[in-house]
Amino acid sequence: NFVPKHPRTAISGALFDAAAKVIPGGVNSTARATWSGWTPYPLFVAKGSGSQLEDVDGNVYTDYLLGLGPMILGHRPPEVTRAVVDFIETRGTVFALPTADEATLADKIVAAVPSVEQVRLCNTGTEAVLYATRLARAFTGRRKIVRFEGMYHGFSDGVYWSKHPSIPAAGPDSSPRPVAQGPGLPAGVEQNLIILPWNDPEVLRAVLKTQGHEIAAVLTEPVMCNTGCILPEPGYLEAMREATREAGALLIFDEVITGFRLALGGAQERLRVTPDLSVFAKGLGGGFPVAALGGRREIMALVSDGRVSMAGTYTANGIAVAAANATLDILARPRFYGDLDAVSDQLRHGLQAVFDAAALPARVVGIGPLMQVWFTTHAIRNYRDAERFADQGLFDLWWRGMLARGVLFHPGAYENLFVSSAHTTADIEATLDAARDVAAELSRR
Ligand code: PMP
């Protein structure tokens, strides 16, 4: 009894068929592919505007996909658009030489983020993580990186392991085996990784105690955003900070999603735990491709003198720097995060109330403008809990029901709903009305 996508989205279907002839899978990212949940095809976009997105068939959606996170100001934020257009019209795009604007931007990032004394730009989160792990290895002279089951740190060979492995094939809960996220990753690379369950301070302490001399860094999202939304349990990040310091290993926060979103200083400001290195992307650029790696001066010194190379034709290009400068000026306004949180809380609490009223087993988990619905009453502390307890079938029905009523978010239960500063109280009320309808249908099943 859920509206199938076909009749309302016929043009998307036709465009997909044509695209699939010349683009593998018909799309330019796995996350948009039919096998990632967009069955039978993804929506093709006509345009976005503020909190709204319009597909090629003329359907309009309230957008909580938000480009997977960059559109923290909503679509086409006028000040960012103007800054970018001005820059490229009056100055250019790529020079292979520095501009004054880069130091202006770095000043803003250093002022905003507690752990960052120096910062280098690059283009994507994947790149920034690659540099962070390389820098950690160079700084410590050690080889291994600890990472956690269920997280995503980009698609480079060194870290694209154990994102969403099948359980129990991935081994015991407290000492998982690294599992390649698909074929083509060079065998042997995983010997440089230690995979752990998240939110378990005892396991982490034990590993750092026994293998610490080999561990260059612990790499983590401060909030797990790539298996739905899982918050760190009280004291967990603090335990991580202490145990890495004792072992002489670096703590790297992958703030690609949380950065410039949970606070101007990211999760590290909001949760008050200071890493050695941090990685940023998405929110930083207001929709334009830009990423950053920053941290303690003594570590970044390896980049300063060229011992560790961070390069790239397009790094700190004019578009990226103009977009990030304009975005950070907006994010730094006094009420920005208070207002964003208020609208986001309205959605999170509102959705929970809708599910409770319908007696559905659902928990809305999140922090600030970042959230996901778990269809279970069981607490989800890590990836294996999600695999074991969350009802993915129910999530799929919820997603379809909401899409049919003009509310867009990612079809994957392991993704997030994002809220932007363009979302209004009226947007949230309309979304909650749709949610009431869908919840009623789900509870009648
Ligand atoms: N780290 C995290 C935590 C991410 O969520 C992502 C992308 N979703 C990345 C790294 C990779 O970033 P990018 O897609 O910009 O390469």
Record the tokens describing residue 409, joined without a space: 């978010």
Pick the atom of ligand 1 nearest to 31's CA: 8
Three-state helix/strand/coil letters over the chain: CCCCCCHHHHHHHHHHHHHHHHCHHHCCCHHHCHHHCCCCCCCCEEEEEECEEEECCCCEEEECCHHHCCCCCCECCHHHHHHHHHHHHHCCCCCCCCCHHHHHHHHHHHHHCCCCCEEEEECCHHHHHHHHHHHHHHHHCCCEEEEECCCCCCCCCCCCECCCCCCCCCCCCCCCCCCECCCCCCCCHHHHEEEECCCCHHHHHHHHHHHHHHEEEEEECCCECCCCCECCCCCHHHHHHHHHHHHCCEEEEECCCCCCCCCCCHHHHHHCCCCCEEEECHHHHCCCCCEEEEECHHHHHHHHCCCCCCCCCCCCCHHHHHHHHHHHHHHCCCCHHHHHHHHHHHHHHHHHHHHHHCCCCCEEEEECCEEEEECCCCCCCCHHHHHHHCCHHHHHHHHHHHHHCCEECCCCCCCCEECCCCCCHHHHHHHHHHHHHHHHHHHHC
User: For the segment 325-360, what is each residue's pLDDT rounded down to a tens digit?
Assistant: 999 999 999 999 999 999 999 999 999 999 999 999
Give yes or no: 305 in active site.
no
Q: Is the CB of 415 under 6 A from ligand 1?
A: no
**Catalytic residue (choose from 55, 63, 200, 254):** 254
All domains in the chain, ordered by first residue: 7-76+335-444 (3.90.1150.10), 78-331 (3.40.640.10)
In the residue annotation, 437 being an active-site residue is answered as: no
Note the pTM of the prediction, 2 decimals.
0.98
Cα(153) to centroid(ligand 1), Å: 6
Check 163, 282, 337, 414 and give the catalytic one: 282
- Pairing verdict, β 52-55 and 144-148: unpaired
Q: Whose CA is nearest to atom 10 of ligand 1?
A: 153
CA of 72 to the centre of ligand 1 (A): 15
Q: Is 152 noted as a catalytic residue in this protein?
A: yes
Instruction: Please give the distance, rounded to the nearest whole angstrom, from the Cα atom of residue 312 to the centre of ligand 1.
Output: 18
Rounded distance from Cα 125 to ligand 1 centre (Å): 5
Decide: 392 and 348 in contact? Cβ < 8 Å. no
Ligand 1: which of 152, 156, 314, 410 to mutate, judged by most atoms within 8 Å of the beta carbon?
Answer: 152
Tell me, using a 6 A CB cutoff, whether residue 126 lines ligand 1. Answer: yes
User: From the alpha carbon of 291, which atom of ligand 1 is closest?
Assistant: 15
Q: Using the mean position of ligand 1's atoms as its centre, give its distance from the Cα of residue 93 in Å.
A: 24
Task: Give the pLDDT of residue 35.
Answer: 87
Catalytic residue among 41, 61, 64, 152: 152
Distance CA(240)–CA(375), nearest Å, equals 29
**Residues in the chain with pLDDT values less than 50:** 1-4
